[in-house]
Amino acid sequence: MNLNIHQQSLAFGALYEDEDAVTSYTFDRAKLKNLEKCLANNSEASLLVKKFRDDPKQILALLRRNMFSIMNDPKILEGERFDRLERYIPDYFDLMILLDKTAFPSTGNRIYNFVPDYIPEGFSDMGADFVLDERSRLGREKIEVRKELIFNQARRLFADIYSTGRMSKGEIVEKIANWVYRKINYDHFSGGVQFGRKSVRLDEFLSKEIGVCRHYALTTQVLNQAFGLTSRLMKCDSNGGAHAANLVRTDGAWSLLDVTSPLIVKGKQYVCLFPLPEKDIDLNKNIYNWGVRDDNGEREYITRNNMYFRIK
């Protein structure tokens, strides 16, 4: 991999589980920073790719911790830290996408049918339809994930989270959920019909600020992953209709996250994030039935394991 100096330092921190790699530097006589911890060769890069393929969440979590460390850097003035963070963000985006492309290359026309643990760059969600030919599809669009375009639209979200210098996983989950909910306006006709029977990039729904539950859930999954959170895209049936939501794991416990449908409790709106009793969840082996009640009544979620996809 051809990495610049920022990416080499972030990559070093991810490979060697060093949470402060990007803040390990000295100043030369010209007061320029010399980063001390960087990937040194292609063998280290290959090892990082292998570790990423085995456990993307762990590598992305280490990248997250290094990004947070910038705002806690005692070597530079507080006012300079945000400028440094802003310089790192585009390199951080590019590194995540490069790891995706290297670890999870295109599957061509090979179609898979299960719920994946991780959504890589180029992922194409085909829903419950295995047909590649757009002219023969049943009316639902294929949703392509191009992370650079998604990350760029969410750049202020990343900057807001990392500029705090610290934030719990639960706080990050709620921050992302609120951003997605405000960014996409639920429009069943435009989001579900206008784009039908063709390939549409997920970022186009963000640009047009319209969509339905599958666009909310897939965007949320991509952003949760980028912050190294344990998260799952969940296809389900809810109150008799097809639905999409997410599962997230924080503080050692799973919760169901439904960004599309906030909870209304005593007239006040909250992110629909509620704890689940299961310690371990496997969406491909088991079917789960969960219910939650708010001011609008009982809401039921029955999970499904049918999901066709490929990597383009």
Q: List CB contacts of 156: < 8 A, sequence separation 6 or more.
A: none
Residue with tokens 């299961």: 278
CA 229 – CA 231 distance, rounded (Å): 6
Task: Calculate mean pLDDT across residues 139-160.
Answer: 94
CA 168 – CA 207 distance, rounded (Å): 29
What pLDDT score does 194 carry? 58
More confident call, 125 vs 34: 125
CA 273 – CA 259 distance, rounded (Å): 8
Task: Calculate mean pLDDT across residues 166-182.
Answer: 97
Beta bridge partners of 237: 242, 302
Beta strands 199-201 and 142-144: pairing type? Answer: parallel
> Is the pLDDT at 192 greater than 60, yes or no?
no
DSSP 8-state code for residue 46: H
What pLDDT score does 266 carry? 94
Question: Tokens for 128?
Answer: 């419950």
Beta strands 123-125 and 25-27: pairing type? Answer: unpaired
Domains of the chain are: 5-103 (no CATH), 112-311 (3.10.620)
* pLDDT tens digit sequence for 250-307: 989 999 999 999 999 999 999 999 999 999 999 999 999 999 999 999 999 999 999 9
Task: Calculate mean pLDDT across residues 48-56.
Answer: 98
pLDDT band at 195 (very low <50, low <70, confident <90, very high): low
> Lowest-confidence range among 26-35, 66-75, 275-284?
26-35
What pLDDT score does 36 carry? 85
